[in-house]
Amino acid sequence: MERLRHINNRIYLRSLQGVIVALIGPLVWLSIDYINHVVLNSLVSQELLLVLYLTIGTLVVFPSFGAYLGYRETQAHQRALIDPLTNLYNVRYFRQRLDELIAEHARKRSSLYIAIFDIDHFKTVNDTYGHSAGDKVLEVLALQVKQSLRKYDCLARVGGEEFAILYSTAQPFDIVNAAERIRNEVEQLEVVIDKTRSIRITISLGLTSYRKSDSKDSFYARADKVMYQAKVAGRNQVKFDLDL
C-alpha cells in the first residue's frame, strides 16, 4: 500500500506539472498577440483550428509525458529501496524507516521493536543444492514471513540470509507471540527445489525493544546479539530482550 501510494502521488504531481506547462504555450501566445494589439475575438475566429490544436494537443501530450516521467521516477526510486530477489525492502530503506520510527517514539512514546532472524545452516543449503536453490529458499521464506505480518510492520532483507522486522504500536507479549508464530510457520514450510527435491528450513530469531538510551546502531546491535544467542542455544528458536 505504501509503495502504491508513492507511485500514485508521483504520477499525479508530474501530470499536474504537465498540465501547467501545457497551458503556458497557448497563454503566452495569446498574451503576445494581446500586447501586439491583436483583438482576441478576431484571432480566435480566424485561427480557431490552430488555437484548438495547440491547446488540446499540449493538454494531451504534456500531462501524458508527465505521468510517464513520474512512473519512471517512481520505478527508479523503488529499485533503490527494494531487494530484487525477495521483493522486500532493502537495508537502505530499513535504516530510513528505523530513523522515522525512532523519531516517532520520541514524540509519542510509542512502542518499537526489532526482530532479526536468519536461516539456520544456510551455507549447507547452498553447498548441497546450489545457489539457485538458496535463492529459491530466500524467496519462499520472504513471502511466508510477509504474509504473517501486519500491513504496517516493516520487513526487510538486510544481509545475505538475514532479515529484520520493525514492529510498532504493540505490546511485548504480542510481539513475542508473533515472532514465535513466524518461527513455527517457517519450520513447517516445505521449499520445492525441483520436481524430485524439496527441503525444510528453520530460523533463529532475536527480538528486542527500543530503550531511551538507545541509538539506532545500539538498538540494532542488541537484536543481532540476541539472535546469536538463539543460535548458540541450539537454533530454531526465539530469544528476546524486552522491557516488560
The H or E element spanning position 171 is none
What whole-number distance in Å separates Cα of residue 152 and Cα of residue 12? 24
CB atoms closer than 10 angstroms to residue 48: 10
What whole-number distance in Å separates Cα of residue 25 and Cα of residue 239? 65
CB atoms closer than 10 angstroms to residue 10: 19
Catalytic residue selected from 47, 104, 161, 162: 161
Name the β-bridge partners of 200: 190
Q: What are phi and psi of 56, to 5 degrees?
A: -65, -40
To which residue does cell 537484536 refer?
Answer: 223
Whether 161 is catalytic: yes
Contact (CB, 8 A) for 94 and 155: no
Contact (CB, 8 A) for 51 and 58: no
Tell me the three cell numbers of residue 225: 546479539
In total, the chain counts a number of residues equal to 244
Name the β-bridge partners of 230: none
Annotated catalytic residues are 161
